[in-house]
Chain A
Amino acid sequence: MQRSSWLGLAFLSPALIVVFLFFLVPVVLTGFFSFTNMSTATGVKGGAYVLNASGLRALTDAGLPKSTLEQIEGAGYRVDAKGLEALALDFGKPVAEEFAKLHEGEVFSKRRDVERALKDLRSNPIRKTRDRKQAADLFKRSLMNERFDSPTAFEAALEEAGIPETDRPLITEVAYTGWVWTTDNFGFLFSLDSTWQYAKNTVIYVVFTLSFNVLFGLFLAIATFYLPAGQAAAFRAIWFLPRILPPVLYIVMWRWFTWDTGFISTVLSGFGVPPRNWMLDTEFHAWTTIVLINGFVGASMGMIVFSSAIRAIPASMLYASEVDGASRLQQIWYIILPQLRWPILFITSYQTMSLLTSFEYIYLATDGGPGGATEVWALAAFHTALNNYGGNLQYGLGATYALILVVIGLLASLAYLRLFNFRNLLVKPRIEG
């Protein structure tokens, strides 16, 4: 490599670091998460070993013998230090000490046996049957809902409870509450009807918002081009407002605008239209608002890019078309639009990318409603992984949604890059190297 190339690389290094930190690392992490079953339940660190009711059900389904299941549920009554301590606390030290002397280390299989042993104590302050029952329960030992921090501790407990060795591995696996590697997310995701609904929503969202962005941006750019400079600047500034407004504020304004006591309802009530929430009352209204909200923001960007591209057209070319007899519309159609081809392609590809992955305005406006009608893929990924009402955040599944989006984005970028490269093949570099 030449010296200058190294120098170039050195200049680029801050950018490379940023790309690495904010693009590459998230993508790699997304890929990593999507092959796990991580969720709130499993945590993101390693897990503990606990058997609960649903674990027991899973074991039943797995065909574990009934006897083993019973052993798990009721591992008997063990007179151990922990139970004795509890006994001393509830019924006094003497009782506990005597019970320890007589039975420490013993295992009773039935509660009644424990009760009898308690009744037989010489210093017998536990008179009531109910109290005795309670006291006996202090020694009840079960594998259910008991937390073990390591597999060895859990296996030891299984052994102690006398569970057959052949059944132990399966039980250990089911009892594990941490995350594991899996490829099930992908199959599961595509088996869901809602996934296809998200895909459809995303297509609607991208196609309509993109069309609005590009066409409206073009319209604004061309319209302001023909206005006197002062008016054009004012007009552009107005259309630029949505972009520089903080998104939350912008959405709050839209909400107020569409609220059932908001602007539209108030105005229309004058005409006898009953007030309603114009954003969320129908799917059509929800989509219209979403497209407009995003479109106004996106159009300003198109407007700026197209405006500067139009102004880069030499004035004499526009003069020429006028003396050649072209009307305004013909001038736009034959002279201006053809020269905007590459800016239009650029904006289209750029906006496709950002729309595919953007959901913040939808999240703030409809949050996917009504009834999931505007839940786009990226929002679904967010909801699944980071924000849902069920409370169980499924990081793994959410990451799978995100990963698929990354793949689609990469493919689309490649397609667009090819388009741009195609241009480079046609146009030789202006400055020859």
Chain B
Amino acid sequence: MRISIENFTKTFGDTTVIDNMSLDINSGEMLALLGPSGCGKSTTLFAICGIHRMNGGRLLFGDRDVTKVSSQKRNVGVVFQNYALYPHMNVYDNIAFPLKVRKESKAEIDRKVQEIATLVHIGELLQRRPAQLSGGQQQRVALARALVRKPDILLLDEPLANLDAKLRLEMRSEIRRIQLQTGITAVLVTHDQVEAMSMCDRIAIMDEGRIVQLSSPKEMYEDPSSDFVAGFLGNPPIAFLEGSVDEAGFRLANSEVTLPVPAGITLPGPGSAMRFGIRPEFFQPDNALKVKGRISFVETQGREELYDVTLENGAVLRSIQTQGGSYRVGDEVTWGIAADRILAFGPDGDRL
């Protein structure tokens, strides 16, 4: 089912948390709401499921206006940030709860609970209490409870935040599998960019209650609309070079070094400030646009090695290289930037 948020505004007392946000989520799509802590992701989610009333704007499920519909009647499944399982019920009763309050027959409830329990692989845990489950198991129970009554929409609020790295990886594909299998429209709230990029069809990046960019993961990575977005995506993160516009192009701050500006970028007037963003994979020994620096930090990541290179003016560039280079801290290096991959940002942070 398609979700349309139109001019959504949310205030708590005097503070406006979300201001005039509009967002369209396609039917069957999994969309990530990505952003730093406190930017209003959960608030948006709570507005979609009806826990929070909207102070302004409209919410449509398909063609139906649900702005004033109570959360009981929206048929939205939610997996909460802390799972919110009912501690006094066992797993079976937790999953059966949404069916029980709709007064479905015992047999019907049993059939559906068993079916969903198999789907999320918790068939053997049904008699346990939530307190007797691991974080990952609780998360599956919460997912099963959200899915059991076949909701039109699935909302997930940082469902993987409490899991260890391996389990997180596992659950990522698990959730995606279930979402694709059921064809449900899903919104995933997260502040983990890897999660957002690996699981979702599209990402909406939020900052301070606004959506900064909405696009597919690949597009967002390669073509960020601002330095905020560029900085948010990518691990290890992008490195920024501060500087200003010069007749020769981009001149590094506190230095005589200038870099040519890639084609197709309209520069602001001479003298105005600007930044170059260079991702670690585009700063390599073999690239053409050479800069000189000294290796200030080496981190071995197993398959790859990460180097921090401090330039003469004190700015730092990052480089990620496959194993084999025998560079050490303190080595003088002259490596190159892939000139066509430089991202240039204007004084206000917007992409040029």
B288 proximal to A (CB < 8 A): no
Residues on A with C-beta less than 8 A from B101 are 321, 324-327, 330, 334
A323 close to chain B: CB less than 8 A: yes
Q: Determine which residue in B72, B74, B78, B89 has the highest number of CB atoms from chain A within 10 A of its CB, and name it.
A: B72
Say if the beta carbon of B88 comes within 8 Å of chain A.
yes
B residues less than 8 Å from A341 (CB atoms): 88
Q: How far apart are A138's CB and chain B's nearest CB, in angstroms?
A: 90
Find out whether the CB atom of A338 lies under 8 angstroms from the CB atom of B149: no
For A, the interface residue count at a CB cutoff of 8 angstroms equals 18
Interface size on B, residues (CB 8 A): 29
1/0 per residue B64-76: CB within 8 Å of A?
0000001111111
- Assess whether A152 is interfacial by the CB under 8 Å rule: no
Q: What chain A residues lie within 8 Å of B82 (beta carbons)?
A: 314, 316
Complex CA gap A314/B76 in Å reads 20
Which of the residues B74, B80, B102, B149 comes within 8 Å of A320, measured between beta carbons?
Answer: B80
Q: Is the CB of B80 within 8 A of A322?
A: no
Find out whether the CB atom of A338 lies under 8 angstroms from the CB atom of B88: yes
Residue of A323, A327, A330 near B78 (CB, 8 A) is: A323
Interface of B is mostly: loop
For B221, the chain A residues whose CB sits under 8 A away are: none
Within the assembled complex, what's the spacing in Å between the Cα atoms of A200 and B15?
Answer: 61
Interface check B84, CB cutoff 8 A: yes
Q: How far is the CA of A425 from the CA of B320 in the complex (A)?
A: 56
Cα distance A39–B86 in the bound complex, in angstroms:
61
Contact (Cβ within 8 A) B80 A316:
yes
What B residues does A325 contact at CB under 8 A?
A: 72-73, 75, 98, 101-102, 149
Q: Is residue A186 contacting chain B, with contact meaning CB distance below 8 A? A: no
A334 to B78, CA, bound (A): 19
- Which B residues touch A317, using CB under 8 A? 84, 86
Q: Is B23 engaged at the interface, CB distance under 8 Å to the other chain?
A: no
The distance from the CB of B318 to the nearest CB of chain A, in whole angstroms, is 39
A176 to B252, CA, bound (A): 117
B140 contacts chain A at the CB level, 8 A cutoff: no
Shortest distance from the beta carbon of A53 to any chain B beta carbon, whole Å? 72
Of all chain B residues, the one with the shortest Cβ separation from A314 is: B84
- B46 CB–A CB distance under 8 Å: yes
Report Cα–Cα, A329/B313, bound state, in Å: 68
5 residue pairs bridging A and B, Cβ less than 8 Å apart: A319-B46, A319-B51, A321-B97, A325-B75, A338-B88
Interfacial residues, chain A to chain B (CB-CB below 8 A):
314, 316-317, 319-327, 330, 334-335, 338-339, 341
Across the A-B interface, the 9 shortest Cβ-Cβ residue pairs: A316-B84, A320-B84, A324-B98, A338-B88, A326-B101, A322-B71, A323-B78, A319-B51, A316-B80
